[in-house]
Structure 1
Amino acid sequence: MTKKKIDWTDEADVVVVGYGGAGAVTAISAADAGAKVLILEKQLQDTDTSTNHTPSTRMSGGGILNPEDTEKAIEYFTNLRRIANESVDEEESAMIRRLCEQMATNFSWLESIGAVMGGVESMSPTFKNMDMIHAHHKETNAVGIYDADFPEIPGSEAICVFWVKATDGFRGGAALFKTLTNAVEKRNIPVMYGSGIEHLVLEDGEVRGVRGIRDGKPFAVKAKRGVVLTCGGFEFNEKMKSDYLRPLPVEFTGNPANTGEGVSMAQEAGADLWHMNCISFRVAMKFPEHPIAFGTQHHTKASIFIDQRGSRFTNERFKLHAFGYELSNFDCYATCYPRIPAFWVFDEKRRQMGPIANKHGACNPPKGKMGPIHYIWSEDNMEEINKGWIIKGDTLEELGQKLAADPDTHNLFDVDNFLKTVDRYNGFCAEGEDRDFLRPQNGLQPIDDGPYYAAKLWPGGPNTQGGPRRNIECQVMRPDKTPVKRLYSCGELGSFFGMLYNGGGNLAESIAMGRVAGENVAGEKPWE
């Protein structure tokens, strides 16, 4: 596509664009296959006093989906596609099978690079106090949980999630990423931080390398075997979010450097796109004073979710990675989304139980070392109440009046309806049965201990799933189903997951398919 002479500043067999979990696994696998690898990372390197590098893996809860039975996992993921009315043709079926088969070997690969799988002590704090059934991994003695988002679907009984052992101040996603970076360093794979990649270099339809800016100056890296895009989604590109996502706004808890360059570069190369409207779709709390959103935890403790009319609308023990879709009911007569924002209402009992924000993402600085996006949520939620992030009323009526006066309720809020909603819910708690939304009995605690509180909930989550379409070998594909030569992708940039996603799946996919991408790109014949 261009014959112009390129002044290459660096070269490698394989160039990996983006140093998160998918990029690390790809780089390790390509290096182990004999390739000279160079990782290019947009963010700055950590310093002794600041965590600057915040890839999605490091920001995540760290749960890795591991199927207990491959065939049942295939059945489960196939059914997730079907209930979302997505196609499950021969090609899709082959991808699901490849993904599940690769996932089943993730633990042995992780152990081969030095990982130690954890037990109960290493689980996400969000899950430790929940009523979950423990899963045991026979080969590693790891302890995890059975954690299918859709347990009613056939095959769900095989879906387990495990964590890398928490150690030395690293837990969750930070512990997994520490394991991966140790393996990268052991192989002496160079990482160029502060290297923003803007374009692929193409010639005659083949990828030859990449171009970008480092230290304010242009640079170009020759990739003799190929390029792998592992640079994340578009969670912090407002234009792409507006073009592809609904409902809006969508607030994300992950890496603020994920601004969609991988999508743009792939499009320049003629790539097809898929899953662009798909998200690991949760709810999040977002405040103007902080650059990224916060995840939530323990919503069934003396709590309900209400809409802008003051009505309860869901089981608060919700489908963790699909709940955002429940907020999307646009009201053509009210001319707004009555559930955007929704409100999490809770009482003094819940305030005292611990943080309403979960303990990963912004709230999990690696080894306690803070960075520009980190924040330690107070254990009693009082600091956030004093900031005004959590709305407080000494009585339910006072809280209702404050919500009615909030412009985000679009003049829809009915205080009397709100009081009736809480009273009805408290009645279910007394009866031991949620007759409206079937919340489990062990999660029914009355909202009757003032003061009372509310937090705004927005559609959101950790990451987008869309990007360049890829095939079973992680090659980036054109609309005519031919691969863009020497271009691969992995991770959340064009994930195999569509509308419905299961927790732990993105990390498992990154480990499973990063190995495929790394081995395949290393096997390409050098173009010179």
Structure 2
Amino acid sequence: MTDSKFKGIKRRDFIKGALVGTGALALTGINSRSAEAAGVPKKWDVEADVVILGFGGAGACAAIEAADAGAKVLILEKQPQNNLINNTRMSGGIYHSPDPAGDRKALKEYAKAMFSGENIPAMLEGEQPDVSDGLAEAWAQFAPENVDFLKKLDPAFNTVAFSRFSGAAFPTFPGAKESKYRVYGSSFTNKADFNIPTMNSPKSEKMNGEAFFTVLREAVEKRKPRILWETPAQRLIVNDKGAVIGVVGKKKDGKEVCCKARRAVIVTTGGYEYSLPMRRAFLEGPGVEGWAFYGTPENTGDGIAMAMQAGAALAKVGKAASRIITAVPIRHHGLKMGLITDSVGGANSIVIDNYGNRYAAETLVTTDPSRYFFYKEAVKFDITKLMYPRVPSWMIFDDTLRSKGTITSLGISTAGFGFVPWTKDNMDAVKRGWILKADTLEELAAKIKEQKENRKLMEAANLVRTVGRFNEFCKKGNDEDYGRKTGTLGPVDKPPYYALPLYAGGPNTKGGIAANARREVLDWLGKPIPRLFTAGEISSALKFVYQGGGNLTECIVFGRIAGRNAAALKPWK
């Protein structure tokens, strides 16, 4: 970048310093729609009708829709072409596609309840009442088309039914029954097994998120957009009228490339799971060491920072699709990496706090409707001791559980895509010290107490008493303390014993930049920033509750809407 190529960059540089240099997040452009994010270049390096930032599920759907509308599309992606691993690809491939024969008004009501909640009698106020009606209407219109949309892109793609994720996760919400809500898995086979990695498998054998994203990626590539690989977007270019007219990217060689967007820019860069300053600023409790995520480490909040520089408002930024999961000392951007931990709440295990006490029915962690809220229990603050006694929590289990199943899912997420090594018998993690092992509960308590994060709080007598009490409940077939599901009441009684740290976390953050149903990014006055659109977890519609598969669903629904509306604009002059 040189002064001869750009005008008026001083304010931009100041903002960039405030965002990055201090680790704080400034709310820029609160009262102005003409915030200058970058000077307008005298010469453009690349031009397109629609410029999309990020090639994940939402970006792919936006690209497909924009291209089908006749727009010339350009995609900027920070990852290399031969190693594009995004949250969509790493996911379980679960998505929603309500029965088209269901009641559309009921579907709108159910969607509004999930997005904002103001149609639920017990709610004091809605999470996003200014835009929820439009968002719900869009969901009711597009979501029932999701199966057909994917099948038309690739007829070889198969939907897979899950009994565990069969319908509405919130059956008491308005419209839950009448909407005929449906949830499916993704596959090119006749099954979707979370424990079989298919990252490097032939297309005909791909499952889960790998299958889902394969459909989208191939559909995008058939439309032949220009893709600038290893070129992360750096800043939006805003003209003197406050319209976003392009973006500056940074190529692998360090040179900047100025990309003109004749119609619009769509930001689909994902959440801020691996942005240390944003996590510290936005997440509840100890946002850095008290949380972990099991999605791509490339989600560093870039789009949120860029949109803020252009005057974008924020919306419920602290929201996350999270429960409690384990994490390992493999760090990216200074942050430890998590793993799916659906084994929590299974037989022969309990969850305790740092003192050795149970604090909830463990089945709440992994079953609807509570599972994506459970992180709130994990980061609960003790207002008398002024500390977080459940950061981390500990999963205590015996050799029965260790030997009969794998703690994580080996086919998807961080284990399935090679970020975290894990073996089927869990013993490699034991050898690495990620899982603590002891012959007695007293010895296990001592090992937990030695861990820095326990802060020497563990009391052996508490742990022994807690396990003994739980085992008595197992004999009775009734958890008298917390009402845990009877079918999971297997005792913790076969040594050796194990302990696994658990942190608030999950696949991704959901809060970020504010947007309306047209997927126009909004400023702090609630007005659209001209020619700037967004979709995906960076601007998730699911602000009140989250149902598993919701992120992929909105990738399709709101990615398509963003692409369609961006392509419909007339080119600026």
For normalisation by structure 1, the TM-score amounts to 0.89
- Could you say which residue in structure 1 is the equivalent of 2:450? 405
CA distance in 2 between counterparts of 1:77 and 1:337 reads 34
1:284–1:458 CA contact under 8 A, matched in 2: yes
CA distance in 2 between counterparts of 1:156 and 1:431 reads 35
- Could you say which residue in structure 1 is the equivalent of 2:392? 341
Q: 1:3 to 1:210 in 2, by over 3 A?
A: closer
Matched position secondary structure for 1:493: helix
2:59–2:268 CA contact under 8 A, matched in 1: yes
Q: How far is 1:86 from its partner?
A: 4.6
The aligned amino acid for 1:165 is: S
Q: 1:73 to 1:296 in 2, by over 3 A?
A: farther
Matched position secondary structure for 2:437: strand
Given candidates 493, 503, 521, the residue that maps to 1:448 is 493
2:166–2:184 CA contact under 8 A, matched in 1: no
Q: How far is 1:148 from its partner?
A: 4.3
1:243-262 paired onto structure 2 within 5 Å: 243-248=281-286, 249-262=290-303
Q: How far is 1:98 from its partner?
A: 1.8
The aligned amino acid for 1:323 is: F
Structure 1 residue runs without a partner (length 5+): 47-51, 124-131, 134-144
Q: 1:280 to 1:35 in 2, by over 3 A?
A: same
Are residue 308 (structure 1) and residue 354 (structure 2) matched?
A: yes
Q: 1:4 to 1:208 in 2, by over 3 A?
A: closer
Matched position secondary structure for 2:131: helix
1:185-204 paired onto structure 2 within 5 Å: 185-203=221-239, 204=241
1:69-84 paired onto structure 2 within 5 Å: 69=102, 70-80=104-114, 81-82=116-117
Given candidates 272, 278, 297, the residue that maps to 1:234 is 272
CA distance in 1 between counterparts of 2:133 and 2:41 reads 43
Q: Which stretch of structure 1 is more off in the superposition, 265-274 or 385-394?
A: 265-274
CA distance in 2 between counterparts of 1:527 and 1:263 reads 24
CA distance in 1 between counterparts of 2:129 and 2:323 reads 28
- Could you say which residue in structure 2 is the equivalent of 1:114? 154
Q: Which stretch of structure 1 is more off in the superposition, 264-273 or 160-169?
A: 160-169
Are residue 491 (structure 1) and residue 543 (structure 2) matched?
A: no
CA distance in 2 between counterparts of 1:5 and 1:94 reads 36
Q: How far is 1:268 from its partner?
A: 1.5
Q: How far is 1:155 from its partner?
A: 4.2
The aligned amino acid for 2:226 is: P
- Could you say which residue in structure 1 is the equivalent of 2:57? 21
1:466–1:495 CA contact under 8 A, matched in 2: yes
Structure 2 residue runs without a partner (length 5+): 1-35, 190-201, 365-369
2:248–2:256 CA contact under 8 A, matched in 1: yes
- Could you say which residue in structure 2 is the equivalent of 1:477? 522
- Could you say which residue in structure 1 is the equivalent of 2:255? 217
The aligned amino acid for 1:207 is: V
Q: 1:4 to 1:490 in 2, by over 3 A?
A: closer
1:18-57 paired onto structure 2 within 5 Å: 18-46=54-82, 52-57=83-88
Q: How far is 1:426 from its partner?
A: 1.1
2:441–2:460 CA contact under 8 A, matched in 1: no
CA distance in 1 between counterparts of 2:131 and 2:384 reads 43
Q: Deviations over 1:361-380 (max 9, x none)?
A: 11223xxxx5xxx2342000
Q: Which stretch of structure 1 is more off in the superposition, 96-105 or 86-95?
A: 86-95
Q: Deviations over 1:158-177 (max 9, x none)?
A: 44321121453422111101
- Could you say which residue in structure 1 is the equivalent of 2:471? 426
2:320–2:510 CA contact under 8 A, matched in 1: yes
1:115-194 paired onto structure 2 within 5 Å: 116-119=157-160, 132=163, 145-146=165-166, 148-157=168-177, 158-167=180-189, 168=202, 169-194=205-230
What's the Cα RMSD here?
2.0
Q: How far is 1:110 from its partner?
A: 1.2
2:112–2:135 CA contact under 8 A, matched in 1: no
Q: 1:286 to 1:3 in 2, by over 3 A?
A: closer
Matched position secondary structure for 2:330: coil
1:348–1:452 CA contact under 8 A, matched in 2: yes
- Could you say which residue in structure 2 is the equivalent of 1:136? none
Matched position secondary structure for 1:507: helix
Identity of aligned residues (%): 36
Q: Which stretch of structure 1 is more off in the superposition, 76-85 or 256-265?
A: 76-85
Matched position secondary structure for 2:429: helix
Q: How far is 1:11 from its partner?
A: 0.7
- Could you say which residue in structure 1 is the equivalent of 2:340? 295
Q: How far is 1:199 from its partner?
A: 0.8
Given candidates 75, 91, 95, the residue that maps to 1:64 is 95
Q: Which stretch of structure 1 is more off in the superposition, 404-413 or 301-310?
A: 404-413
Q: Which stretch of structure 1 is more off in the superposition, 35-44 or 403-412?
A: 403-412
CA distance in 2 between counterparts of 1:97 and 1:463 reads 25
CA distance in 2 between counterparts of 1:147 and 1:338 reads 35
Q: How far is 1:398 from its partner?
A: 1.6
Q: 1:73 to 1:302 in 2, by over 3 A?
A: farther
Matched position secondary structure for 1:111: helix
Are residue 93 (structure 1) and residue 124 (structure 2) matched?
A: no
2:40–2:238 CA contact under 8 A, matched in 1: no
For normalisation by structure 2, the TM-score amounts to 0.82
- Could you say which residue in structure 1 is the equivalent of 2:20? none
- Could you say which residue in structure 1 is the equivalent of 2:313? 272
2:381–2:388 CA contact under 8 A, matched in 1: yes
Q: How far is 1:117 from its partner?
A: 2.5
1:84–1:499 CA contact under 8 A, matched in 2: no
Q: How far is 1:105 from its partner?
A: 1.4
Runs of 4+ in 1 over 6 A off after TM superposition: none
Matched position secondary structure for 1:484: strand
CA distance in 2 between counterparts of 1:208 and 1:381 reads 51
Given candidates 38, 43, 51, the residue that maps to 1:7 is 43
Q: 1:5 to 1:342 in 2, by over 3 A?
A: closer
- Could you say which residue in structure 2 is the equivalent of 1:129? none
Q: 1:307 to 1:108 in 2, by over 3 A?
A: same
Q: How far is 1:267 from its partner?
A: 1.1
1:78–1:96 CA contact under 8 A, matched in 2: yes
Q: How far is 1:147 from its partner?
A: 5.2
- Could you say which residue in structure 2 is the equivalent of 1:330? 381
Q: 1:85 to 1:251 in 2, by over 3 A?
A: farther
- The count of corresponding residues between Structure 1 and Structure 2 is 495
Are residue 518 (structure 1) and residue 518 (structure 2) matched?
A: no
Matched position secondary structure for 1:293: strand
CA distance in 2 between counterparts of 1:109 and 1:58 reads 18
The aligned amino acid for 2:219 is: A
